[in-house]
């Protein structure tokens, strides 16, 4: 085993320090050096290639992921017809992320990646960098990306918020297995907040792109700041995200509070068994939960229907501040409702996945219902050439044909 590890480490070192047959004095000298294109099938680790589709379960899902990823790679390759790659290697990679839910619909998620490994000058010789700054990723069935979290996020997380995950946040909590973290959640945990109207428009229209840095704020010849450009490929004339109404939000809080009635007794028992002094923090949980329920029910009974049907706008920071000023126990007052907000700082509207857009494909959840394209670039010539070529020549309509 040690010999295998040492052998792999040696190969990795050789790959990292791949010397290109060209003399140089500075990194700038290498910008015009012809580059290489490596397909996902040429990825240097056979063991990694063998795991490309491992997180898809079942032959049909694996076959679908392989088919879509192969087609995405071909479409990207065709966008570079007549384009001369210079300054580094453009290398491809596939990955599968398993399954997640868009609301109640289970989706298989997988990603195609192309990255530019630039050449740089070391002791007069050109060497391939082992890291990349410029990268193109195409995500099947994934809208909520880590890189979009400053704009689009799940404000309530995906758990009850306590010390232990006891599974009560899942819709089918009685049969839920903790080994299945991406099962369907109760409504509150499926909501998304978005602070950018232009991002919501890009997702829902499937037109234009969303960029996380305005053109006027981009500094030229800068390697330290990444810029992301996103496209959302859809194939239905209805929105992907729709507003969550105030009424829906309040009702989802009641559903959540009922789960807390199941959660806290189990948690207190567990902490007591472990002789954890933290159990004192939950001594008043019943009164706190009933207090939260009473507030929400009062709002639902007193407000008119048109008010309740307006979009819910929340402010988690302000809610937390009000909890603190009122001297409330933090752990039993999660998600306490105070009020709806407007244009205050840090206030954000709530959205949910449109159930009319996402449909259950029982025989093959890996079929793409939406594809998110993210191009990360820096403002140096080699990166900008790839970005501009992609933006101008990539066949977005061909990708659209892959979406169900």
And the tokens for 100? 């997640």
Q: pLDDT band for 102, please (50, 70, 90 cuts).
A: very high
Sign of the CA dihedral with 346 first, then 227, 216, and 214 last:
negative
Which of 113 and 15 is assigned the larger pLDDT? 113
And the tokens for 92? 């491809």
The pLDDT of residue 21: 53
Rounded average pLDDT over 311-325: 97
Residue 7 has pLDDT above 60, yes or no: no
Residue 17 has pLDDT above 50, yes or no: no
CA distance 60 to 53: 11
What's the Cα-to-Cα distance from 291 to each of 124, 301, 391, rounded to whole Å? 72, 16, 54
And the tokens for 326? 């009122």
Half-sphere exposure of 241 (CA within 13 A, CB side): 29
CA distance 134 to 379: 10
CA distance 73 to 80: 11
Residue 344 has pLDDT above 60, yes or no: yes
Q: pLDDT band for 164, please (50, 70, 90 cuts).
A: confident
Residue 306 has pLDDT above 50, yes or no: yes
Residue 4 has pLDDT above 80, yes or no: no
Q: Which residues contact 70 (CB under 8 A, 6 or more apart)?
A: none
pLDDT in tens, 104-140: 999 999 999 999 999 988 888 888 899 999 999 999 9
The pLDDT of residue 11: 41
Q: What is the mean pLDDT of the chain?
A: 91
Which of 178 and 79 is assigned the larger pLDDT? 79
The pLDDT of residue 16: 42
Residue 349 has pLDDT above 80, yes or no: yes
The pLDDT of residue 51: 96
The pLDDT of residue 3: 40
Rounded average pLDDT over 336-343: 95
Q: pLDDT band for 352, please (50, 70, 90 cuts).
A: very high
Residue 195 has pLDDT above 70, yes or no: yes
Q: Which residues contact 131 (CB under 8 A, 6 or more apart)?
A: 117
The pLDDT of residue 28: 77
Half-sphere exposure of 137 (CA within 13 A, CB side): 23
The pLDDT of residue 338: 98
pLDDT over 70 percentage in the chain: 94
Rounded average pLDDT over 345-366: 94
Q: pLDDT band for 20, please (50, 70, 90 cuts).
A: low
Indicate the pTM of the whole model.
0.91
Which of 195 and 17 is assigned the larger pLDDT? 195
Which of 160 and 259 is assigned the larger pLDDT? 259
Residue 9 has pLDDT above 50, yes or no: no
Which of 6 and 305 is assigned the larger pLDDT? 305
Q: pLDDT band for 18, please (50, 70, 90 cuts).
A: low
């Amino acid at each position: 085993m040690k010999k295998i590890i040492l052998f792999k480490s040696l190969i990795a070192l050789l790959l990292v320090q791949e010397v290109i047959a060209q003399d140089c004095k500075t990194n700038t000298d290498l910008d015009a050096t012809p580059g290489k294109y490596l397909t996902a099938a040429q990825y240097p680790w056979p063991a990694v290639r063998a795991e490309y589709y491992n997180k898809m379960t079942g032959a049909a899902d694996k076959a679908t992921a392989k088919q879509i990823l192969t087609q995405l790679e071909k479409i990207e390759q065709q966008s570079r017809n007549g384009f001369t790659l210079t300054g580094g290697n453009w290398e491809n990679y596939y990955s599968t992320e398993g399954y997640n839910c868009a609301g109640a619909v289970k989706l298989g998620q997988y990603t195609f990646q192309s990255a530019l490994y630039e050449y740089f000058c070391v002791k007069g010789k050109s060497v391939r960098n082992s890291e990349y700054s410029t990268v193109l990723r195409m995500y099947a069935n994934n809208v909520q990306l880590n890189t979009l979290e400053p704009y689009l996020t799940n404000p309530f997380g995906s758990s009850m918020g306590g010390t232990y995950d006891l599974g009560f946040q899942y819709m089918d909590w009685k049969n839920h297995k903790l080994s299945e973290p991406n099962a369907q959640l109760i409504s509150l945990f499926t909501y998304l907040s978005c602070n950018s109207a232009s991002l919501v428009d890009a997702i829902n229209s499937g037109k234009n792109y969303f960029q996380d840095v305005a053109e006027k704020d981009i500094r030229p010849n800068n390697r330290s700041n990444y810029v992301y450009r996103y496209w959302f490929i859809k194939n239905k004339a209805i929105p992907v995200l729709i507003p969550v109404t105030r009424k829906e939000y309040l009702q989802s809080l009641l559903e959540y509070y009922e789960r807390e009635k199941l959660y806290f007794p189990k948690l207190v028992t567990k902490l007591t068994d472990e002789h954890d002094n933290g159990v004192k923090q939950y001594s008043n949980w019943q009164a706190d939960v009933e207090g939260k329920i009473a507030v929400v029910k009062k709002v639902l009974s007193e407000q008119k229907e048109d008010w309740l049907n307006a979009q819910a706008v929340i402010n988690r920071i302000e809610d937390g501040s009000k909890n603190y000023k009122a001297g409330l126990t933090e752990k039993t007052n999660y998600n306490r409702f105070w009020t709806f907000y407007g244009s205050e700082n840090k206030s954000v509207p709530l959205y949910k996945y449109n159930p009319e857009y996402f449909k259950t494909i029982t025989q093959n959840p890996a079929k793409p219902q939406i594809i998110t394209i993210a191009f990360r670039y820096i403002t140096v010539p080699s990166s900008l050439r790839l970005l501009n070529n992609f933006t101008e020549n990539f066949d977005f309509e061909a990708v659209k044909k892959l979406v169900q």
